[in-house]
Amino acid sequence: LTNLTVRFRSLTQPFVTAHVHKGTNFILNVQRLKHPLLDAFFAYVSSIVSVTFYTCFLPLLFWSGHCKLGRQMTLLMAFCNYTGNCFKDVVSAPRPPSPPVRRLTTTEHEKEIAFEYGLPSSHTLNTIGLSGYLLYYVINYNFIDGYAQKLVAISLFLILVFLIGLGRIYLGMHTPIDVVGGAVLGTAILFFWLSVHESIDTFVISGKNVTSFWASFTFVMLFAYPTPELPTPSFEFHTAFNGVALGV
């Protein structure tokens, strides 16, 4: 696995790094609009799709009786985090250089994830994957009715994705290639999850040897996790959330 990681990194890292440097000028142009209100706005928008937010939000789904949605969102988040962090540590492409880019981190968690690699943007990936699944769920399980309500929900989803992507650039955390990479990977994960979510839920609820399977599968995923070029906190974050997913 290590040899495959190194080989894939040698093919992708130079390309991505070159685009990170090219994208730095775009970030600087966006940051010319800097204003305390914009700082606060984009920091707040980023926080509502962060791991910290979902850690608080997901238990509410179970407590309010929406157990199926809670299970799916928890497992999907674990899958999004694992896949996104794998890509980050395999490619090991840098974040925008700071300076000259102004990097705004407003929480301790943001300061920690700033030590992770850049591609793909986890915020963008999670927004499309998790918010996209939530949108699918509320539409297909008749939580909202009528064309107008569905159109509003879809519009809000698209606006949120746009604001998250723009916000990560404005805050100096990502370049455009990171955001695009997160959007592409998040979309792929969403469509994959929509094709298997019912089967997964059936297995979790009524399958045999569920606990032993998930425990074994978790250890396999930990073993298969790629080694980054330099140490990052990604593996620790993934390990912790795997424990949450195992509890589901």
3-state secondary structure 4-15: HHHHHHHHHHHH
Q: How far is CA 192 from CA 156, 163, 241, in A?
A: 22, 24, 21
Cβ atoms of 241 and 78 within 8 Å: the answer is yes
Q: Where are the alpha helices (DSSP H) in the chain?
A: 2-31, 36-47, 51-63, 67-91, 108-113, 122-126, 132-140, 147-170, 176-206, 210-224, 234-247
Of the candidates 84, 67, 181, the residue with the CA atom closest to the CA atom of residue 126? 84
d(CA 196, CA 192): 7
Residue 243 near residue 77 (C-beta atoms within 8 A): no
Residue 230 burial (C-beta neighbours within 10 Å; 0-12, 13-18, 19+): exposed
The question of whether 66 is a catalytic residue gets the answer no
Question: Is position 238 annotated as part of the catalytic site?
Answer: no
Q: What distance in Å separates the CA atoms of residue 191 and residue 175, rounded to the nearest whole number? A: 25
Task: Please count the CA atoms within 13 angstroms of the CA of 62 that sit on its side-chain side.
Answer: 12
Catalytic residue among 19, 21, 174, 238: 174
Structure tokens at 12: 């992708």
Which residue of the set 66, 109, 123, 238 is catalytic?
123
- The residues that are catalytic are 123, 174
